[in-house]
């Protein structure tokens, strides 16, 4: 509907109190009940190389 | 230019979004900015900045990128280590719908938004509906213009989503949308750099 305000939060209802998100977000299937663990080195680095200083 | 910026991806277009209560689809090109777009925390308060001062936004075809120039007075010392602190927080947006239609796909209603006005961008303390949103702090010296950097910001958002899933797999499936390296990790990183400098 035109004029609605939307907030892109999970479980957020416009014009109402935010409710608790009870969904199990991110749950992934496991092989034989053993959780699959992925270890990721979190290194993004800089956006660009630093500019030359003048 | 200020020494430190907070920047990232606040929204994506052309994807079905599940906000927990309904499905939304923001058509590419649907979003235009209000006269003054605010940067808020949890959609409340006076806000950190607006597009009239320290907030820049770039509405692309596929995503909304933003950059907030953090005031110099907040922390000059932090700017030296800003790039070494690998942390991020989730981001959301608030917008008013100007034109939309409901579509039913396989019996499920999807709200297709074709025209909307962006009012605010929020750092959130809860889960975002668009899972690949994020913001992180960077030193301004490593940044180009927001438009030039936006493709990289978008890619980093995708990467952070993988990182969140990987961390969730170690955490019983619970996704944490905010992340910060521990003091031990940072100290270890500095030590590794110091060793590398000796070689």
Statement: residue A37 has pLDDT above 50 = no
Statement: residue A21 has pLDDT above 50 = no
Residue in chain A lying closest to B11 (CA) = A8
Nearest to B134 by CA among B6, B4, B3: B6
Statement: residue A48 has pLDDT above 60 = yes
Statement: residue A38 has pLDDT above 70 = no
What's the pLDDT score for residue B38?
97
Statement: residue A34 has pLDDT above 50 = no
Tell me the ipTM for this assembly.
Answer: 0.80
Torsion B117-B121-B126-B131 (CA) sign: positive
pTM of the shown model: 0.76
DSSP assignment, residue B197?
H
- Which of A1, A4, A6 has the most B C-beta neighbours within 10 Å, making it the best mutation to test the interface with B? A6
Which chain B residues contact residue A38 at CB under 8 A? 165-166, 169-170
What's the pLDDT score for residue B192?
72
Q: For chain A, what percent of residues have pLDDT higher than 70? A: 17
- Which of B7, B21, B99 has the most A C-beta neighbours within 10 Å, making it the best mutation to test the interface with A? B21
Query: Residue ranges of chain B with pLDDT lower than 50?
Result: none
| CA distance, residue B53 to nearest chain A CA (Å) | 23
Which chain B residues contact residue A29 at CB under 8 A? none
Which chain A residues contact residue B167 at CB under 8 A? 40
Statement: residue A25 has pLDDT above 80 = no
What's the pLDDT score for residue B82?
59
Q: How far is the C-alpha of B117 from the C-alpha of B139, rounded, in Å?
A: 30
| CA distance, residue A21 to nearest chain B CA (Å) | 8
Residue A29 vs residue B133, higher pLDDT: B133
Are the CB atoms for B48 and B40 separated by under 8 Å? yes
Q: How far is the C-alpha of B143 from the C-alpha of B161, rounded, in Å?
A: 22
Q: pLDDT tens, B152-163?
A: 999 999 999 898
Torsion B164-B169-B171-B174 (CA) sign: positive
Which chain A residues contact residue B84 at CB under 8 A? none
Statement: residue A4 has pLDDT above 60 = yes
Q: Do A10 and B20 touch (CB under 8 A)?
A: yes
Are the CB atoms for B67 and B5 separated by under 8 Å? yes
Which chain B residues contact residue A16 at CB under 8 A? none
Residue in chain A lying closest to B179 (CA) = A42
């Amino acid at each position: 509907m035109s004029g609605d305000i939307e907030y892109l939060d999970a479980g957020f209802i416009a014009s109402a109190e935010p409710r608790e998100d009870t969904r199990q977000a991110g749950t992934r299937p496991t092989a034989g009940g053993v959780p699959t663990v992925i270890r990721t080195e979190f290194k993004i680095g800089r956006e660009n190389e630093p500019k030359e200083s003048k | 230019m200020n020494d430190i910026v907070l920047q990232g991806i606040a929204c994506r277009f052309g994807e079905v979004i599940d906000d927990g209560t309904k499905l939304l689809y923001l058509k590419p090109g649907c979003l235009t900015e209000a006269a003054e777009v605010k940067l808020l925390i949890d959609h409340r308060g006076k806000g950190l900045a607006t597009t009239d001062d320290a907030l820049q936004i770039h509405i692309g075809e596929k995503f909304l990128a933003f950059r907030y120039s953090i005031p110099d007075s907040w922390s000059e010392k932090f700017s030296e280590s800003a790039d070494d602190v690998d942390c991020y927080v989730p981001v959301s947006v608030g917008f008013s719908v100007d034109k939309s239609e409901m579509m039913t796909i396989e019996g499920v209603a999807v709200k297709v938004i074709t025209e909307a006005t962006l009012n605010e961008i929020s750092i959130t303390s809860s889960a975002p509906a668009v899972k690949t949103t994020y913001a992180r702090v960077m030193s301004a010296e490593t940044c180009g213009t927001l438009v030039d950097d936006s493709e990289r910001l978008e890619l980093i958002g995708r990467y952070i989503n993988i990182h969140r899933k990987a961390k969730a797999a170690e955490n019983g499936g619970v996704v944490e949308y905010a992340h910060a390296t521990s003091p031990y990790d940072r100290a270890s990183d500095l030590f590794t750099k110091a060793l590398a400098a000796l070689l």
